Amino acid sequence: MRVFSKFIWAALLLPLFWACGDIDQPPIIAQTPSSITSPPSEIMVTTENGEEVVVFNVSPADFGTNMEVTYIIQMDRPGNSFANAADLGSSTSTSIEVKKDDINGMAISRGITPGESGPMEFRVRAVPSRTLSALNGESVTINVSTTVSFNPDVPLTLEELVGNGTKAWRLRPSAGSWGVGGFRGDLGFFPGATTNLASVRPCAFNDLYIFGQDGTFEYDNQGDFWAEGWMSVPGEGCQPESILDGTPSEPFNSGVHSFTLIPGGPGVLPQLAVTGTGAFIGFPRAFNGGEIPEGGSPTERTITYTVTAYDPATQQLTLSLRTADPFDDFDGVFWTFVLVPDELAGEVGGENPAAFTLNDLVGSGTQAWQLKPAAGAFGVGPAPGSDAFFPNGGDISGDRPCLFNDLFIFSEGGVYEYDAQGDVYAEDYMGLTGGGCQPEANLAGTVGAAWASGIHEFSFEPASGSDRAKITVTGTGAFIALPKAFNGGEYDAGPPREDESVTYDVLDFNPDTKELTLVIDISTDGGVWWTFVLVPAE
């Protein structure tokens, strides 16, 4: 009876199996990544051939359907699984050109000693135009011979860092030289861009960071240090160095370590790394990706600081260190330290970094200013001096020449003139379409007509106490650098309000280079600032 039952069940199920065979099954799409075909065995970069290109030919990627594909050549150090991949160049064709200077800078920033050669891994990443996952091709190893290079916007060299053999640096004793924020260069978390801690923490601002030609890095706290609770020391504030003895923080005493300087290259910021147990610059607790926990002790490690700015005229050196990954609306947690040579520290102190006068503004009677054609000269961010929202470190002067040739002219008697020099950078709010540089005549008859060249008025308010110096321009369409920005907001569309006054704070002024940094808060809570760096027009 059981055998008979089995036959019955088999007979009943057999048609179901046949029916399943008739159901259309989704096809299995085989996807094939792209690969670099006939890669070079070596890429040699010299000071003479940096503008030359290396052509990477790649095989087409197959996503199982026809679509446009963008091919990206990536590079990283061997064995890193492209965790720190550098995007060297991209194209929608299977032939991608990459400048040797770009390869040079990226290779140096990923560990090849400037002027030497070493292996780097390259691969092609295929990115489809539709919502499919990108495909990474197999890596190939190419030997890259680098040349000593530097970033033209941040021209820090070993000779600048060590001087004639040994050079001592210290924190600049003024506002904006030490702090932490959510973006590179931002001090919004603490203590804010306008707070000068030099008088509050003199024992931190007298510390010396000494770099030698032989690669030695010496930290000299000059007998005292700024004590905090996490260091396992009694009390906070300025304490004698000897109180560190016998604590987990003892390695933070004065000592000799080592350093390396990676000059970077075009588009690649230099890096300054210090190595040793307790080696640090600016803040002992911070290291790449974290901070020492309460009661913790420093270990033998290398801390790498990104050199975000260096001015050969003033010798001000700005370092950035990220201690936490991006979160919420921030790029992460970034510490900023501005150093100056020890012998120049006394020249830059004081509560107001922007010691700017009316005579500086108008010169001998009339002075024309224009935007400095460099990174950081025009941008918006969460704090004064920050361009983290846009363009985030980029130099846009080449993309917007009609913006960087504008003249902002101040004359005795309160006369202010804007001269667009015949062209403007067009945006929709101005009543112009098409974007880009356009003839100034296109503004005629639009809602942005008042933002054309014209004569207005200005007033100047010198710095007082903790208040910055201020420049106010008044008139229908009066502005500096950016027409749409006004105190507390931006225009969504013209026309500008009649006889409007717009006030700009003087964030900084360099009497040697004549660089004038203006900022304007366009928010209601101090969270969005435009920054403009002006220089006298030639």
Contact criterion met (CB below 8 Å) for 397 and 373: yes
* Gap between the Cα atoms of 303 and 219, Å rounded: 14
Which of 343, 348, 322, 305 has its CA nearest to residue 177? 348
| Chain length of the chain | 538
Check residue 21 and give its pLDDT. Answer: 44
The structure tokens 């098409």 sit at: 434
pLDDT at position 4 is 40
- Predicted pLDDT of residue 352: 41
For residue 347, the model assigns a pLDDT of 59
- φ and ψ at residue 400, rounded to 5 degrees: -130, 60
The pLDDT value given to residue 221:
94
Question: Tokens 């700009």 appear where?
Answer: 504
Distance CA 435, CA 403 (A): 12
335 and 320 Cβ atoms separated by less than 8 Å: yes
Question: Among positive and negative, which fits the CA dihedral 361, 364, 370, 371?
Answer: negative
Low-confidence ranges of the chain (pLDDT < 50): 1-28, 350-354
Question: For position 313, what pLDDT does the model report?
Answer: 86
Q: DSSP assignment of 316-384, as one string?
A: EEEEEEEEE--BTTBS-EEEEEEEEEGGGGGGS-BS-S----HHHHHTTSEEEEEE-SSTTSEEEESST
CA distance linking residue 509 with residue 471, whole number of Å: 13
What's residue 132's pLDDT? Answer: 81
Tell which residue, 327, 465, 386, has the closest CA to residue 176.
Answer: 386
Residues 6+ apart with CB under 8 A from 494: 429, 430, 431, 446, 447, 448, 449, 450, 451
Residues 400 and 203: their CA atoms lie apart, in Å, by 45
User: Of 168, 180, 170, 251, which is closest to residue 203 (Cα–Cα)?
Assistant: 170
Q: Determine the Cα–Cα distance for residues 317 and 323; give it in Å rounded to an integer.
A: 20
Q: How far lies 277's CA from each of 138, 207, 303, in Å? A: 39, 18, 10
The encoded tokens of residue 265 equal 């290259």
DSSP 255: E
